[in-house]
Amino acid sequence: MFSLRVPSSSFITAPPTAAPATTRPGQLSASIATVKQSHHHFGQKQGTAARNALETQFKTHWREIFAAGSPVSQVERLLLTLSAKQVRQLTAKGVYQFLEGKINVGLPGVESALTVLRSHVSREHQTLINTTWEKLHCQNEKIGKYSLAMRLQKELGHLELRPAQFRRALLDADDIPDITILSQASVALNIDVKEEELEWVLQNLQSLRHQYHCQIDLLVALQSLPDYHEMTAMKLFVVMELAEEKMSLPLVKLSQSAFKARPTEEQQQWFDRNWTSSATGTKCDQLINLLCQEPAPAMAVADLWRLLFNARVSMSMSLVRNALKFIVHLKEMVQLHWHMVCPTGNMTQLKQLGMMLFSLKNSNIRPVQALSALKIAGLPAADAELKGLCLSAYNSILLTEELNWIRRV
């Protein structure tokens, strides 16, 4: 029987081993450290050269860089002036530190720009992407960037490219979607929509469009229908795209926020008391009038928007947001200037009101707004007659002797 075990016989001997070379202690470690250090210095040298090139190109091309576009697209334009090798050698942190105070962009924006510029696209693919983009853009001038981004990636899906590669290929084109839009559009392409879901939306949009003309109103009305089945923002966006409605994903998300808003009973009662007497003038005037009637209960932008929507009043969310911000500013300014013109409080109300209006002359507050805000600012309210006198005096051209007389009153 054969065995694989090595016999303990003296006939089997080990081959002679060579004597180890003598080395000084620490010599090997020092050699390894030297190699590592050389690589580190080489990398540092390359990074410094790329950083110097970035600074040079910024000084040369800063006018074109700042000409147009978002901060991220400005960074992309700057990086586009460098070679591919130089872009690879730059770090996001290094670029961000250099651009601080020059371009208002955060570190994530710089990382996004570097990702796009480091993406490789063959010349053949770049030509095909640009040709397809131009064709889609000309055919669909009235649709938004989200829809165009979806259609572009759908038509060229066989190329199996990433959103960053599409963005890289389109950098020389005009009015192109950013990497966020391209990425979201890429996700949207994989969302499954059932035929009956699309049919339901198409039927209801047709009936709702006669009552609601603003897009966000239309979306909220659609979601308010009793047989609406809740969808994610992305799915609702895809359905609207399939229904050939020009809507962006942020708008769809905003509509979902507005739909979920539920005004309290206190907010509703405040609105019911004050809306009818406020509904005059422009939409902005109506909102300012409403918010100046009496101190409003605490509410979010979506709450006030929903109160208006329920009353069949169409207002954009941005208009409501700006009105709420302006009211805070208005209240603070009226309080400040009221006490500033008469710190001691020994002035007649008419004179103090007139002086306050003149002190606000160079601000963004109109006299009517300032007088309307007295109540919410916690100051003595002026009746209609007093307001009329103040506005009449403010709008009059005063002679020097008349102005001197007013000062003596």
Contacts of 65 (CB under 8 A, 6+ apart): 58, 74, 77, 78, 103
**Does the pLDDT at position 357 exceed 50?**
yes
Q: What is the mean pLDDT of residues 176-189?
A: 90
What integer pLDDT is reported at residue 3 of this predicted model?
30
Q: Are 285 and 293 in contact (CB under 8 A)?
A: no
Residues 304-348 have pLDDT tens digits of 999 999 999 999 999 999 999 999 999 999 999 999 988 887 888
Residues 295-308 have pLDDT tens digits of 999 999 999 999 99
What integer pLDDT is reported at residue 25 of this predicted model?
53
Q: Identify the band that residue 48 occupies on the pLDDT scale cut at 50, 70 and 90.
A: confident
What integer pLDDT is reported at residue 87 of this predicted model?
93
Which pair of structure tokens corresponds to residue 346? 């020994």
What integer pLDDT is reported at residue 39 of this predicted model?
44
Q: Identify the band that residue 147 occupies on the pLDDT scale cut at 50, 70 and 90.
A: confident
Residues 56-77 have pLDDT tens digits of 999 998 888 888 888 999 999 9
Q: What is the mean pLDDT of residues 192-200?
A: 93
- Of the chain, the percentage scoring pLDDT greater than 90 comes to 56
What integer pLDDT is reported at residue 4 of this predicted model?
31
Q: Is the pTM of this model over 0.85?
A: no
User: Coil, strand or helix: which one is 14?
Assistant: coil
The secondary element (H helix, E strand) that includes residue 154 is helix 145-155
Q: Which amino acid is at 363?
A: S
What integer pLDDT is reported at residue 67 of this predicted model?
84
What integer pLDDT is reported at residue 395 of this predicted model?
78
Nearest Cα neighbor of 306 from 256, 342, 351, 346 is 256
Cα dist. 170→70, 165, 181 in Å?
15, 9, 13
Q: Which amino acid is at 150?
A: M
**Angle CA(169)–CA(174)–CA(178) in degrees, nearest 5?**
60
Q: What is the mean pLDDT of residues 205-213?
A: 92
- In whole angstroms, give the CA distance from residue 41 to residue 30: 16
Q: Identify the band that residue 1 occupies on the pLDDT scale cut at 50, 70 and 90.
A: very low
Place of tokens 């901060």: 71
Cα dist. 50→78, 84, 103, 120, 349 in Å?
13, 10, 19, 19, 68
User: Coil, strand or helix: which one is 81?
Assistant: coil
DSSP 34-81: HHHHHHHHHHHHHHHHHHHHHHHHHHHHHHHHTSSS-HHHHHHHHHTT
Which pair of structure tokens corresponds to residue 71? 């901060």
More confident residue, 342 or 253: 253
Mean pLDDT of the chain, nearest integer: 85
What integer pLDDT is reported at residue 90 of this predicted model?
94
Residues 3-43 have pLDDT tens digits of 333 333 333 334 444 444 455 555 555 554 554 454 444 44
Highest mean pLDDT among 34-48, 156-170, 363-377, 394-408: 156-170
Q: Are 106 and 72 in contact (CB under 8 A)?
A: no
- Of the chain, the percentage scoring pLDDT greater than 70 comes to 85
Contacts of 248 (CB under 8 A, 6+ apart): 144, 145, 146, 237
